[in-house]
Amino acid sequence: MGLTGCADPRPLRLVIFDVDGTLVDSQAHILAAMDAAFARLNLPAPAPHATLATVGLSVPEAILQLVPGHDASVREALASHYKASFGAIRAETGRGISPLYPGTRDLLDTLHARDDLVTGIATGKSMRGLTYLLEEQGLAGFVTRQCADHHPSKPHPSMVLAALAETGVAARDAVMVGDTEYDMAMAVAAGVTAIGVGWGYHPAERLHAAGAREVLDSFADLPAALDRLWQEVTT
C-alpha cells in the first residue's frame, strides 16, 4: 500500500536525495579511507580527482573503476580495507569529517513540513553507514531509504524504483536530487525527473549531459524548482 490518502485529490510527491556530495560533504572522509585502503596493499593511492569521480557508485564498482587492471582478489581486498578504514575514521573523528552542506537542514525542515510530499534517500552507502550518519547528524523524516546493501550500483534504476514502490508515488511525481552523473542517469532510467546540485563531485556539464533538468546553486532554490516542475506536470 502506498502513502497516498483518499481524501486529498493532489498526488503525493516524492523527493529522493543522494547523500555524499549532496547532503553531506564527505570528500575528506572518502579520500582518507581510500588512501588507507591502498596503503594496506602497498599500492599507490589514486589521484583525489579520480577517487571523487567514483563517488555515487557502490564500493566494488568504484574500486573496479579505479584499478581495472588488477585481478578480482586485489579489488575485493581494497573494497574490504576501504570499508574498514571508513568505519575506523568515522569512529575516531565523528561528525566533523562529513559535515552537512550549507542549507541542508533548513531545506529538509521545509520539505518535511509540507503535506504534499515525502522524502527518501538513494545512496551508495551501506545501510549501517547511512543509519550512523543520519543519527549522528540528527536527520529524520525520510520515509524510504535505499542503499547499496540491497541494490545494484547506480546508475541502475533499482533504488529509485524501490522507493517509488514503497511510497506508492508515480514516477512523474518524483524527483531525484544528486551531485553525480550516476544519480542523473539513475533517475532518467527510472523515469523520474533528475535535478543536480552544483556543489558536489561532478561538474554541471556532466550532470546536464546525463539528463539533469537543472543544476542548483543552492538548496534554497529547490522548493521553487519543485513547484515549477509540478506545475508543469499538472497543466
pLDDT 10s per residue in the chain (235 long)?
Answer: 455 444 456 789 999 999 999 999 999 999 999 999 999 999 999 999 999 999 988 899 999 999 998 999 999 999 999 999 998 988 887 656 789 999 999 999 999 999 999 999 999 998 988 998 899 899 999 999 999 999 999 999 999 999 999 999 999 999 999 999 999 999 999 999 999 999 999 999 999 999 999 999 999 999 999 999 998 877 6
Residue range 13-25+98-234 forms a domain whose CATH class is alpha beta
Do the Cβ atoms of 169 and 13 come closer than 8 Å? yes
- Give this prediction's pTM: 0.90
Which residue numbers are catalytic? 18, 20
120 in helix, strand or coil? strand
Phi-psi region of 3 (alpha: psi -120 to 50; beta: other; left: phi over 0): alpha
The pLDDT of residue 110: 96
Q: By C-alpha distance, which of 22, 4, 43, 30 is closest to 218?
A: 22
CA dist 215 to 33, 49, 97, 163, 218, Å?
29, 21, 26, 22, 9
